[in-house]
Amino acid sequence: MASRQDIETYLFRIAQQDRAAHADLYQATSAKLFSVVLRVLSDTTDAEDALHDTYVKIWRFADRYTSSGHSPMTWLITIARNTAIDRLRARRVAEPYDDHAEFLADHGPTPEQAAVAGGERAQLHGCLDELPVDRRRAVTGAYLDGRTYAELAVEAAIPINTMRTWLRRSLIRLRECLEQ
């Protein structure tokens, strides 16, 4: 199993056009990233296309990783999920997002970013458990399944504005809990 150090080394080499490192990164991470895109898209063919696009983006933008402030797996997961969400939204003929902000570069990590990148994910589950179940379901529905406010509102049988208020308040509560 590839360590954080291994993944970072692959990304560094990919930034130098090392195709073997890109293939190694694919072998080490494709099952994880495929599970992320498949959860968003459900359809295997769409998910494979999204995964393909993800690894092409990784090839092109590996040089942006070091200045992103993320841990390597967070960076990869974020690209994969955003690529899948773009495809999901395009499938629904909604306006697609232009997803280049995750490649923010040339700013360098702030001390806060560097600290956050080493943060503990286990904390999120504890903090999520503190939310009422319907709020928790909305947050995970948005992140893992790519639900929109309209869909979440329909699923919860409440108006969209109410769902938006719920979710924004839940985010604030989560952030307070996570900062403890």
Q: Interaction with other proteins in 148-177: which residues (CB under 8 A)?
A: 148-149, 164, 167-169, 171-172, 174-175
Contacts of 60 (CB under 8 A, 6+ apart): none
CA 128 to chain centroid: 17
Q: In this complex, which beta carbon is closest to other proteins, that of residue 9 or of residue 99?
A: 99
Query: x/- string (CB under 8 A) for other proteins, residues 132-151?
Result: -------xx-xxx-x-xx--
Q: How far is the CB of 6 from other proteins (least distance, A)?
A: 17
Q: How far is the CB of 64 from other proteins (least distance, A)?
A: 13
Query: x/- string (CB under 8 A) for other proteins, residues 75-104?
Result: --xx--xx--xxx-xxx-x-xxxx--xx-x
Task: From 63, 54, 56, select the one nearest 15 (Cα to Cα).
Answer: 63
* Interface with other proteins in residues 102-131 (CB under 8 A): 102, 104, 107, 110, 112-113, 116-117, 119, 121-125
SS (H, E, C) the chain: CCCHHHHHHHHHHHCCCCHHHHHHHHHHHHHHHHHHHHHHHCCHHHHHHHHHHHHHHHHHHHHHCCCCCCCHHHHHHHHHHHHHHHHHHHHCCCCCCCCCHHHCCCCCCCHHHHHHHCCCCHHHHHHHHCCCHHHHHHHHHHHHHCCCHHHHHHHHCCCHHHHHHHHHHHHHHHHHHHCC
Q: In this complex, which beta carbon is closest to other proteins, that of residue 9 or of residue 149?
A: 149
Q: In this complex, which beta carbon is closest to other proteins, that of residue 9 or of residue 113?
A: 113
Q: In this complex, which beta carbon is closest to other proteins, that of residue 66 or of residue 71?
A: 71
Q: In this complex, which beta carbon is closest to other proteins, that of residue 142 or of residue 156?
A: 142
Of 73, 137, 156, 158, the one binding other proteins (CB under 8 A) is 73
Of 6, 8, 53, 134, the one binding other proteins (CB under 8 A) is 53
